[in-house]
């Protein structure tokens, strides 16, 4: 028992096993194998390493966006002139990555709380019974009092006079918004690589900012944008979107390769029209454009009043996209290892062809697999010989018997003799 244990341990520590290799000279199988291997090699080099950058680790940025609008608008309504500055037409206050620039509006001045007729089409009536007192309608302006007034509409308790927004000003009231300018300041940090960048890159200084205006070809890094240019680059018509409002996405794209100098990491600006183009499918939608309401309250002779504005504007959403890459040995070795493993597909396919499809599949199967008969061990024990000595005697006997047999290496008999003699 002790000797068996020691032999087992000796075999485990001091012996090495290697797979048996069989060289097959077959053109069809060889061509299939090489084609598969070339395909795998092209996949590893072309897709994994070149396209997917499998030799690099990747990181996304933590970003911050600051914005500032500049420009002045002018309107004249019934002889009343007014100048609109950034405090009047930017919502919310400046600095956010998402904001609205007012381009058109409907104003209702001098509203105060009281009772007044509802607009036609909101609560039409013929008698007081048609106006249920104390009830509301979703599209109405206030609470019905139960009175049907002379113009055949229900009387409501609301901010009076009620707003009439049936007619949208055309052309837009603030067409001058086309010349407003937007300044974007963006900072990004890639924590994995410890790199921080700003869209005010090395070539941009105070003197350059004071006179530059963004242009995709002539000034692609200038962070100051004209609103008319943004709308045009997003595929919209400014007068159309200014009349009813809409939304535009400004994408700041940071795609960087830190295997080269970090100064090559610079932003790219892209503009996308999200909605608001009435000339396209938006015309068929129930709600076109973008609008909201806000009110300015004040006191007049101790009576609370307000000025209501229905604002049509362009909503700008500044979106930062980032992806930085840098060489890393771990993903490189992982990609190489997976590629080497895929090379095994060629072996599997060729084995299937050899063992199951070719006419000489029995011959190739005999060459590939080594079969051990149980009677060999039994007979060697009866003769008192070691297994290796018994195999040598059996091989010599087969050599003597095989003098009259074919020595053609392509035949199954020839392959068996060759295999046994090599043992």
Annotated binding site for ATP: 68-70, 181, 291-293, 310
Pairwise CA distance, residues 201 & 222, whole Å: 10
DSSP string covering 144-170? EEEEE-TTSBEEEEEEESPP--SS--S
Over the Cα atoms of the chain, what is R_g? 42
What are 44's two structure tokens?
């590893």
What are 154's two structure tokens?
């229900």
The answer to whether the Cα torsion of 365, 367, 368, 371 is positive or negative is: positive
Cα distances from 154 to residues 205, 390, 391, in angstroms, run: 63, 116, 113
Question: Among all chains, which residue has been given the structure tokens 């095994």?
Answer: 344
Annotated binding site: 68-70, 181, 291-293, 310
Residues 309, 7 contacting (CB under 8 angstroms):
no
- Please list, in sequence order, all residues whose beta carbon lies within 8 angstroms of the beta carbon of residue 364, skipping any fewer than 6 positions away: 22, 24, 354, 355, 358
């Amino acid at each position: 028992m002790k000797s068996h244990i020691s032999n087992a341990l000796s075999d485990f520590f001091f012996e090495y096993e290697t797979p048996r290799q069989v060289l097959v000279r077959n053109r069809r199988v060889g061509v299939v194998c090489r084609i598969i291997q070339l395909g795998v090699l092209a996949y590893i080099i072309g897709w994994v390493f070149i396209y997917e950058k499998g030799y690099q680790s990747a990181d996304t940025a933590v970003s911050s966006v600051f914005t500032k609008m500049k420009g002045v608008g002018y309107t004249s309504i019934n002889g009343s002139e007014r100048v609109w500055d950034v405090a009047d037409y930017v919502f919310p206050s400046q600095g956010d990555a998402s904001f609205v620039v007012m381009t058109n509006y409907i104003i209702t001045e001098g509203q105060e709380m009281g009772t007044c007729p509802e607009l036609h089409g909101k609560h039409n009536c013929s008698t007081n019974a048609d106006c249920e007192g104390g009830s509301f309608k979703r599209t109405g302006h206030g609470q019905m009092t139960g009175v049907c007034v002379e113009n055949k509409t229900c009387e409501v308790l609301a901010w009076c006079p009620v707003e009439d927004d049936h007619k949208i000003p055309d052309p837009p009231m603030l067409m001058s918004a086309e010349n407003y300018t937007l300044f974007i300041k963006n900072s990004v940090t890639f924590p994995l690589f410890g790199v921080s960048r700003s869209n005010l890159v090395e070539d941009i200084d105070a003197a350059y900012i004071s006179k530059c205006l963004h242009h995709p070809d002539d000034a692609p890094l200038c962070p100051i944008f004209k609103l008319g240019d943004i709308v045009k680059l997003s595929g919209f018509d400014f007068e159309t979107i200014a009349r009813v409002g809409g939304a535009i996405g400004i994408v700041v794209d940071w795609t960087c390769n830190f295997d080269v100098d970090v100064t090559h990491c610079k932003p790219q600006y892209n503009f996308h029209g999200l909605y608001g183009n009435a000339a396209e499918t938006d015309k068929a939608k129930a709600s076109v454009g973008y609008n909201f309401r806000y009110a300015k309250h004040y006191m007049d002779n101790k009576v609370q009043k307000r000025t209501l504005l229905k604002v049509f504007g362009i909503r700008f959403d500044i979106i930062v996209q980032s992806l930085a890459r840098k060489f890393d040995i771990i993903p490189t070795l992982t990609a190489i290892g997976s590629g080497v493993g895929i090379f095994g597909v060629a072996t599997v396919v060729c084995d299937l062809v050899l063992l199951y499809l070719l006419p000489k599949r029995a011959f190739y199967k005999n060459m590939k697999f080594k079969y051990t008969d149980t009677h060999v061990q039994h007979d060697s024990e009866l003769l008192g010989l070691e297994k290796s000595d018994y195999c040598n005697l059996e091989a010599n006997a087969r050599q003597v018997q095989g003098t009259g047999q074919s020595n053609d290496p392509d035949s199954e008999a020839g392959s068996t003799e060759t295999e046994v003699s090599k043992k």
